[in-house]
Structure 1
Amino acid sequence: MSTEFWIFLLVGFGAQIVDGALGMAYGVVSTTALLSMGVSPAAASASVHAAKVFTGAASAASHVAHKNVDWKLLTLLSIGGVIGGVAGTYLITSVDGKLIRPWVIGWLFLMGLIILYRAWKSARPRALPVHGPAPLGLIGGFFDAIGGGGWGPIVTSTLLSSGADVRKAIGTTNTAEMFVAIAVSTSFIAALLTGHWKNTEMADHLWPVLGLIVGGVIAAPVAGWVTKVMPLKLLTWMVGFLVTGLAVWQGLQLVLK
């Protein structure tokens, strides 16, 4: 079995544990790791969203079982997220990967800063001034599809800043993310089948994607228990530095080429 499988199994496991604790970071961490391997932004986003379908289902089942879901909020977030995700997929598959890569790296760097800000403030962050769950889902889904991550940092942060219950905000956001991942993955498949997106990378990165799936699915049921024994502030600092550090490293690679 490929060494990449085991490496990304650990990446997927760790990212899902963090996502379960903070309501964000699975997509950001996974996408940043794939980009560091030289994967194009579109292929990275497609890979991460394929993994999110499985990890999201496991996470959603856990949150539903623990009654962490607000069903009305879930419906509105999911509708907006699906529409935004499909639109973002169409855009990222229409643009040359070399042109969009600097913007995606910049986006991930911004996500890293948001996570660091959460660690620094140790409080609910101020986020997007969006009124209504559906528009919030639309924005979150759009940028999540383009950057391979961003749903949690945008949607969860905004819900928390508006005073939403922490448990319901994280549980509902994670559950809605499953529907967004399904929509984005379906859109990537449709883009491939119609010839809108020509991609030959996916087969080359099968083991990393499988590693992300297996690691995330294993972690989803135990994420709640792990977060009880790990200091969340320390965890947040570690993830923030990891994401921003990798983004800076990739940015320097682009500049020095």
Structure 2
Amino acid sequence: MEAADKSLLNRRAIVGVIAGAVVLLVLVVFSFSDGLWEDTTALVSGIGPEFFIFVLGGFIAQMIDGSLGMAYGVSASTFLLSFGVPPAAASASIHTSEIFTTGVSGLSHLRFQNVNKKLFRSLLLPGIAGAVAGAYILSSFEEYNTYIRPIVAAYTLVLGVVIVRKAVRKSQPKTKTRNIPALATFGGFMDSIGGGGWGPIVASTLIAKGRSPRYTIGSVNLAEFFISTSSSITFFATIGVSYFQIIAGLVLGGIIAAPIAAHLTRKLPVKKMMIVVGVVVILVSIRLIVKAFV
């Protein structure tokens, strides 16, 4: 019976990946039907050294996200902005590329049996609802994004400290995590509003409560595919997406890194993994807070 449940979950995840990709393709065709051939031709003919920079950025971001369950958006955004990509282009490209990278990452975690089915189901629908609401609000009131980012960063900074403290303690009693759907709704909402945050908010909170990093990261990563797809479709319908070369580079780098990162999650010792997660969250949070006030 357990094997049948795993097989069903695998099939549903695969169908979800395919459906998300098909929906995205249809939206691309309808949104860019007037200049689709010209854009595609320009993409192929214009591939140069910068394309491989985007591939590297996608690889690094997905290695971090797939191994630690968080920080793809923040990592990729930092990388792209450091190479002069405009913020709007970086945000749009990251949201689109996450559909593919999180799909591969989620399936990789399924393969390595890193997914807790009950936790995944608790995260899925509330996370989607929050992501759609956040994307719609951001597309309408994008100027308020500056004020929301430091709030999320302050929250994740505290969680990072909690995680590190739990990792260095001898005993780590597991406490029951209440209101997981509410946490998922908030995480999906802030992920769309802040350009990232699903992993830092959801995975960090669950790990801080004593949940296994391996199964938490795997479940959060699988749910993130559906969160990213919902958010991207909402952005697509409201503000559109362009910069295909950046998207293609991020997708290619992320797809290469996803199975490697999922395998790494399975092998890392629990305490060391928690310390790495906590340190990454602290560093990223401090950077976002400083950037917001400088």
TM superposition score category, shorter chain reference = 0.7 to 0.9
Q: SS at the partner of 2:70? A: coil
Matches within 5 A, 1:47-62: 47-62=93-108
Residue type of the alignment partner of 2:252? V
2:227 & 2:148 partners in 1: Cα distance?
Answer: 19
Aligned equivalent of 2:259, options 214, 221, 225: 221
* 2:186 matches 1:133: no
Task: Say if 2:108 and 2:262, in contact at 8 Å, map to a contact too.
Answer: no
Closer, same or farther: CA 143–249 of 1 in aligned 2, 3 Å: closer
* 2:235 matches 1:188: yes
Task: Say if 2:163 and 2:208, in contact at 8 Å, map to a contact too.
Answer: no
* 2:254 matches 1:210: no
CA deviation after TM superposition for structure 1 residue 249, in Å: 5.0
Q: Could you say what the CA RMSD is over the residues aligned between the two structures, in angstroms?
A: 3.2
Aligned equivalent of 2:167, options 112, 115, 123: 123
1:4 & 1:247 partners in 2: Cα distance?
Answer: 29
Q: SS at the partner of 1:164? A: coil
Aligned equivalent of 2:204, options 157, 165, 168: 157
Aligned pairs, how many? Answer: 237
* Cα distance per residue 1:31-61 (max 9 Å; x no partner): 33345546345x5443222111111111111
2:205 & 2:149 partners in 1: Cα distance?
Answer: 22
Counterpart position of 1:171:
218
Q: Highest CA radius of gyration, 1 or 2?
A: 2
Matches within 5 A, 1:1-257: 1-35=47-81, 37=84, 39-40=86-87, 43-96=89-142, 99-103=143-147, 105-106=149-150, 109-110=153-154, 113=157, 117=161, 120-121=164-165, 123=167, 131-191=178-238, 197=239, 202-203=241-242, 205-226=243-264, 228=267, 232=273, 233=275, 237=279, 240-241=282-283, 244-245=286-287, 248-249=290-291, 251-252=293-294
* Cα distance per residue 1:68-106 (max 9 Å; x no partner): 21222212211011000000001110014xx33523553
2:69 & 2:189 partners in 1: Cα distance?
Answer: 18
Q: SS at the partner of 2:167? A: coil
1:61 & 1:157 partners in 2: Cα distance?
Answer: 21
Task: Say if 2:166 and 2:208, in contact at 8 Å, map to a contact too.
Answer: no
1:174 & 1:167 partners in 2: Cα distance?
Answer: 11
Unaligned runs of 5+ in 1: 192-196, 253-257
1:104 & 1:207 partners in 2: Cα distance?
Answer: 29
1:14 & 1:83 partners in 2: Cα distance?
Answer: 29
CA deviation after TM superposition for structure 1 residue 222, in Å: 0.8
Task: Say if 2:71 and 2:199, in contact at 8 Å, map to a contact too.
Answer: yes
Task: Say if 1:112 and 1:240, in contact at 8 Å, map to a contact too.
Answer: yes
Task: Say if 1:102 and 1:251, in contact at 8 Å, map to a contact too.
Answer: no
2:206 & 2:228 partners in 1: Cα distance?
Answer: 20
Residue type of the alignment partner of 1:113? L
CA deviation after TM superposition for structure 1 residue 109, in Å: 4.6
Task: Say if 2:160 and 2:204, in contact at 8 Å, map to a contact too.
Answer: no
